[in-house]
Structure 1
Amino acid sequence: MALLAYAFAAIMVGTTLPTPMYALYAEHMHFAVLTTTVIYATYAGGVLAALLGLGRWSDAVGRRPMLLAGVAFAVASALVFLFADSVPVLLVGRVLSGLSAGIFTGTATAAVIEAAPSAWKTRAAAVATVANIGGLGAGPLLAGLLVQYAPHPLQLPFLVHIVLALVAGIAVLAVPETSARTGRIGLQRLAVPPEVRSVFVIAALAAFAGFAVTGMYTAVAPSFLSTVIGIDNHAVAGAIACSIFAASALTQVAANRIPPGRAVAIGCAILIVGMTILTAALYFSSLGALIAAAVVSGIGQGMSFSRGLAAVAERAPAQRRAEVSSSYFVVAYVAISLPVIGEGLAARLWGLRTAGVAFAIGVAALAAVCLVAILVQESREKLSAST
């Protein structure tokens, strides 16, 4: 379990590694925030392609072959970034990174849970969550420190990640196969049965709001820091991006026993607070408020996403749980791409500060709609139970 958790975290590091480096790429290749958001968002295309096209393969061919394929895509992505000299090359690197993440998201989660010793069975899902989100948070922190304080800022982070990924491959090879290989190769179906739809819509909207924020912090927060706040430090930019993932990971573990409906409502309320703080951070050019917004938003996102998934899984028929969960993840990964591109377009039209404030207001409004919908739904259920 420990070896697989390491492999999971090491591969996810690579998916957020470029975050503090986008400003350097923009400087060297002469592009604006909109191009940065498009480069970032192509990652989601790779993730979705892997989730839908390869999501069921590990049940048929085994966890190890698919995890090794994920390692191969991660190494290929790092090699592309290592020699990147144009925007199209950066796009290729992001797609490869997305493919590695899409394979690992489902396959490594299942492998960690299956490999857990009996004493860890009840905590194995939490271990997988921490490995996943922890790796995402470690990527910008590691890259920020290397870019700011080490030589060769556009190459060294990817050399380090190649080493981490190769060690991950060795870890995967060292672990026995955990799958019974009973599934069939094919495309992952997406569907939401009628009995799940009311819960799914609310949970998916909350996930959309939360993932839009994580996407914004991963793609645009370094630009906020340099352009709006006036601090040009890549290590700080990486730490800010890291903080939202760290807060999310810790919250997902801590909130595991809160009833799903209540947790999603609380998460949406916290997300609204986070967006209010973000608006103040941009308006007053405050570093402290920008960091606070990341932490608060991470708490809201972690709670609403993880417990929203639990709510959907509870209502879904056992034989259709995989396709419902996949539908939920598709919504989440669309959320880290389209809103961020919208942010880039708005920045071109209105300026980065105004675009950021508009983004925060939009996310807060979506979270408020989810919160009201949950409260109305709970009121109806209580009324129905009393009558």
Structure 2
Amino acid sequence: MTETHRSAALFFAVALTFVVTMMGTTLPTPLYPIYQEQLGFSQLVITVIFAAYAVGVIGALIVTGSWSDQIGRRPMLAAGLLFSAASACAFLWGGGLAPLLIGRVLSGISAGIFTGTATVAVVELAPAAWAGSATLIATAANMGGLGLGPLFAGVLSQYLPAPLTLCFIVDLALIALAGMAVVLAPETARRPARPRLRIQSLQVPPEVRGVFVPAAIAGFAGFAVLGLFTAIAPAFMGQILNYSNHALTGAVVFLLFVASTVGQIGQARLPERWRLPVGCVGLIAGIALVALAIIASSLGLLVGGALVAGVGQGVAFRAGMGAVTAASPTERRGEVASTFFVVLYIAISIPVVGIGVVADTIGLRVAGIGFSIAVAVLAAVALASLLTRRRAVA
């Protein structure tokens, strides 16, 4: 193998490592109805299990956000894989609330480490021929892995034995292969002679807040939609639409993440000033379709809502992240970006737990409709803020 072929192979191997790790974070999605049935969990308990993931992500982002610059990409990627493997082992242990909560927190830590480190590693490892597409490949690996998790676990749990364990056994095997890729990959970071491991501060400079606030509100609404589908979609499918096929549930969630990837890629084709507003409009239209799907008990409307909301989420997230980064002082971009991601991951925890509370007290259908209205209002507030700010600047 020539050096060029070897570097290309390692580049794609690390990208696939990114896919495997993010896939592991969403494997439980189609399994939640099985946990409910076998362990007697309420909808609130299911949403709490799901939301524990955000605790791990936020903790990892704050604590280890800048560590890969200090100790290298490979050690951090290896740590992320170890947390991912520990998460799979916790789910294999199973049998109660504690191991599932532990598994989700560990999974969140692995995702928090990989979100920044693997993105940078993929870009830095890209051969010259792929340099222009490296960021796109990293984005596709991230979102593609998140989407593949529910589809993969859904198919295995529906058509093969041991529905609560098989997908995690396969996941451990894939993590072992990913570990080999990390061992073989070269180190791309320039590590200082004396590494300084510090906790990432969370602040937004005053001059950035005018851009940050509408971008964060839109991002919050978009990530809340991701939380809705990855935590509550199985219950909607089974209890409201009367579809109990786990593979079908996984496919619906997969389509949402595919649509998000398309939105993130396609937003570059829009005029810069219209990217975030278009994302907000997409979110409003998509979540309206989701509400109609819940009211009419329609799978077609739910799929349509997933596709439209997914594109809107992807456009809003990528455009918001780009606007916030561009407005931030160079020396504070990491700090502002970390703050932005913390807001986004809060969005996939607290609102989803709120749905669980409402679902257990009033009903799942009412909870879903109320959540849809709240997300649409948030996206509309972000859109209004953007348009008002634009008029003020003009």
The answer, yes or no, to whether TM exceeds 0.5 is yes
Q: 1:215-226 maps to which residues of 2 (within 5 A)?
A: 215-226=227-238
Task: Report the AA paired with residue 90 of structure 2.
Answer: V
Describe how 1:318-337 pairs up with structure 2 within 5 A: 318-337=330-349
* Structure 1 residue 88, shift from structure 2 partner: 1.2
String of CA shifts for 1:108-134, please: whole Å, max 9, x gaps: 011011111223222211111100000
Give the 3-state SS of the residue equivalent to 1:220 in structure 2. Answer: helix
Query: CA contact under 8 A between 1:56 and 1:184: conserved in structure 2?
Result: no
Q: Report 1:254-293 matches (<5 A).
A: 254-293=266-305
Give a deviation string over 1:274-315, Cα, whole Å, max 9, x none.
Answer: 111011100010011111111111000000001100000011
Render the CA deviation track for 1:200-242: whole Å, top value 9, x for unaligned. 0000000000000000100000000000001111011111111
1:376 and 1:192 map into 2 onto residues whose CA distance is 21
Corresponding residue of 1:135: 145
Contact 1:246 1:298 in 2 (8 A): yes
Is 1:372 equivalent to 2:384 in the alignment? yes
Q: Is 1:93 aligned with 2:103?
A: yes
| Corresponding residue of 1:385 | none
The aligned residue for residue 154 of structure 2 is 144
- Listed as ranges, the matches of 1:199-348 within 5 Å are 199-348=211-360
CA offsets 1:66-118 (integer angstroms, 9 cap, x no match): 10010011111101101201011100000110111010001001101111122
5+ residue gaps, structure 2: 1-10
Amino acid in structure 2 at the alignment position of 1:36: I
Aligned-pair CA distance for 1:2: 0.8
1:9–1:132 contact (8 Å) kept in structure 2: yes
- The secondary structure found in structure 2 opposite 1:154 is coil
Change (3 A) 1:317 1:296: same
Shift of 1:259: 4.1
**Where in structure 2 are the equivalents of 1:20-35 lying within 5 Å?**
20-35=30-45
How many correspondences in the alignment?
Answer: 382
1:163 partnered with 2:193: no
1:43 corresponds to which residue? 53
Counterpart of 1:236, as a letter, is L
Q: Distance in 2 between matches of 1:34 and 1:243?
A: 25
Amino acid at match of 2:113: I
Matches within 5 A, 1:54-69: 54-69=64-79
Give, in whole Å, the separation in 1 of the partners of 2:272 and 2:232. Answer: 31
SS, match of residue 268 in structure 2? coil
Residues 1:9 and 2:37 are matched in the alignment = no
CA distance in 2, matches of 1:374, 1:77: 40
Residue 121 of structure 2 is aligned to residue 118 of structure 1: no
Does residue 84 (structure 1) correspond to residue 129 (structure 2)? The answer is: no
Paired-residue identity, %: 50
Name the amino acid aligned to 1:94. Answer: R
Amino acid at match of 2:142: N
Bigger shift: 35-44 or 189-198?
Answer: 189-198
Q: Retained in 2: the 8 A contact 1:38–1:341?
A: yes
2:3 corresponds to which residue? none
CA distance in 2, matches of 1:61, 1:280: 50
**One-letter amino acid of the structure 1 residue matched with residue 379 of structure 2:** A
- CA distance in 2: counterparts of 1:317 and 1:369, whole angstroms: 26
User: Which structure 1 residue ranges, 5 or more long, are not aligned?
Assistant: 383-387
Letter of the structure 2 residue corresponding to residue 312 of structure 1:
V
> What amino acid maps onto 2:323 in structure 1?
A
Normalised by the size of structure 1, how large is the TM-score?
Answer: 0.97
Comparing 110-119 and 149-158, the one that deviates more = 110-119
**1:40-65: CA deviations, max 9, x gaps?**
00000001111111111111110000
Distance 2:15 2:196 in 1: 26
Which structure 1 residue ranges, 4+ long, deviate > 6 Å from structure 2?
none
2:208 is the counterpart of 1:176: no
Secondary structure in structure 2 of the residue aligned to 1:255: helix
Match of 2:206 in 1: 194
Give 1:335 shift.
0.4
Q: Which one-letter code corresponds to 2:85 in the other structure? A: V
Q: Aligned partners of 2:35 and 2:321: how far apart in 1?
A: 36
Give the letter aligned to residue 215 of structure 1.
Answer: G
Closer, same or farther in 2 for the Cα pair 1:307/1:371, shift >3 Å?
Answer: same
